[in-house]
């Protein structure tokens, strides 16, 4: 094992990206001046392009792609400033033509854990071969099963199941599941499929409002809470930060919140505190960490103004 060290308000955190092992020394209280500056995790939308039209998608629809040379500079900054892992997404990252080279760079030239979120349908044999050995974890979106999935995603469910078999032979993987009134009845079946296919995580994503429209309704949210409380399945559950408030969760790094824990980079090159935010800080020539400092200062100012 090769542990990566991170110093922050929660203590001294060691992480091995190959095994996924985390060790936290929370009895150590490092001085704030020694804290690493980067968030623990950063998601990066490499493109806004997607070949699906899911009704609850929050991703911006304007055309945008990150330049690979700029992206590698940002990866180096994150690596040097204590970030532990990055997750490539979109849009659909498999439509980003530089994806294999960016994953190779992140895996080979940095100490970052490298993950990707994808709908999975474009992971053919050629692309899988190019990505093999350069991803530590793959998250596959599977909202509903059977007819529910096909109505929402517009793709054959049996093809997805075949892709899961292919992905599982090469990578550790998990399932991302948007929970709303249309998908919640499929939860039990979905998590059973995840177990059968060898998934090591089932990530619940309570639907968030897009442009003030949609979002998980109170009745469905209450059903989800009941399902989680009664869950006895094999696959460990996780939940998005935006949807965690009403659910029973374990927070081992509770002292490390906000921009210490997570940030998002949009395909337009904006740094945001969440992928759901509509506004952020443009990452300029000074780099990503400078934009992070500016965003943190702005959020602190806004918080101070709030009565």
Task: Write out the two tokens for 276.
Answer: 């759901």
285 by Cβ neighbours in 10 Å (0-12 / 13-18 / 19+) ranks as exposed
Indicate whether this model's pTM tops 0.85: yes
List phi, psi (to 5°) of 193. -65, -45
What's the residue count for the chain? 307
| Nearest CA among 230, 181, 228 for reference residue 204 | 228
CA distance 223 to 227: 6
Q: What is the pLDDT of residue 212?
A: 67
Give the Cα separation of 175 and 166 in Å (integer).
Answer: 14
pLDDT in tens, 137-155: 999 999 999 999 999 999 9
Architecture of domain 37-305: Alpha-Beta Barrel (3.20)
Q: Residue 213: which pLDDT band, with cuts at 50, 70 and 90? A: low
Classify 185 as helix, strand or coil.
helix
User: For 244-282, how does the pLDDT look when each residue is reduced to its tens digit (9 = 90+)?
Assistant: 777 888 888 888 888 999 999 999 999 999 888 888 999
Please report, for the chain, the start and end positions of each structural domain, with discontinuous segments joined by +. Answer: 37-305
Q: What is the pLDDT of residue 244?
A: 78
């Amino acid at each position: 094992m090769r542990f990566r060290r991170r110093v922050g308000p929660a203590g001294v955190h060691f992480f091995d990206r190959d095994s996924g092992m985390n060790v936290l020394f929370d009895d150590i209280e490092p001085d704030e001046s020694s804290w690493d500056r980067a968030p623990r995790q950063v998601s990066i939308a490499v493109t806004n392009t997607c070949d699906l039209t899911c009704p609850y998608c929050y991703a911006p629809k304007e055309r945008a792609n990150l330049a690979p040379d700029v992206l590698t500079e940002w990866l180096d900054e994150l690596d040097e400033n204590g970030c532990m892992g990055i997750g490539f997404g979109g849009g659909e990252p498999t439509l980003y033509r530089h994806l294999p080279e960016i994953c190779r760079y992140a895996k080979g030239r940095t100490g970052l854990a490298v993950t990707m979120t994808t709908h999975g349908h474009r992971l053919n044999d050629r692309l899988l071969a190019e990505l093999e050995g350069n991803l530590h974890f793959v998250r596959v979106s599977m909202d509903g099963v059977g007819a529910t999935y096909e109505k929402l995603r517009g793709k054959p469910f049996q093809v997805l199941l075949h892709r899961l078999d292919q992905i599982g032979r090469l990578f550790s993987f998990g399932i991302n599941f948007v929970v709303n009134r249309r998908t919640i009845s499929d939860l039990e079946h979905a998590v059973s499929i995840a177990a059968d296919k060898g998934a090591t995580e089932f990530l619940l994503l309570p639907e968030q409002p897009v442009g003030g429209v949609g979002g998980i309704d109170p009745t469905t949210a209450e059903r989800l809470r009941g399902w989680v409380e009664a869950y006895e399945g094999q696959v460990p559950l996780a939940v998005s930060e935006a949807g965690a408030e009403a659910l029973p969760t374990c927070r081992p790094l509770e002292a490390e919140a906000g921009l210490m824990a997570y940030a998002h980079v949009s395909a337009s090159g904006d740094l945001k505190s969440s992928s759901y935010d509509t506004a952020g800080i443009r990452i300029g020539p000074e780099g990503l960490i400078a934009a992070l400092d500016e965003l943190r200062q702005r959020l602190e100012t806004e918080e101070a103004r709030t009565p």
